[in-house]
Amino acid sequence: MRYALTVGTCAILLVTGCSGGTSAAPPAPTANATAPVIAPGRPGEEARTLSPSEAATAVPPQKANAADVRYMQNMIIHHRQALDMALLAPSRSANDGVKRLASRINQVQGPEIAMMTDWLKAQGQQVPEHHAAHEGMPGMATPEQMESLKAAKGPAFDQLFVQLMTTHHQGAITMSTEVITQGSHLRVQEIAEDISVSQAAEIRRMGQLL
pLDDT in tens, 12-28: 433 344 444 444 555 54
Q: What is the pLDDT of residue 14?
A: 37
CATH number, domain with residue 114: 1.20.1260.10
Give the structural domain span for 112.
66-127+139-206
Number of domains in the chain: 1
The reply to whether 75 falls in a domain is yes
Report helix, strand or coil for 109: helix
Q: What is the pLDDT of residue 134?
A: 75
Band of the pLDDT at 188, cuts 50, 70, 90? very high
The reply to whether 169 falls in a domain is yes
For residues 161 and 210, what is the distance between their CA atoms, to the nearest angstrom?
A: 11
The closest alpha carbon to 191, from 203, 178, 180, belongs to 180
The reply to whether 20 falls in a domain is no
User: Is the sign of the CA dihedral 139, 143, 145, 146 positive or negative?
Assistant: positive
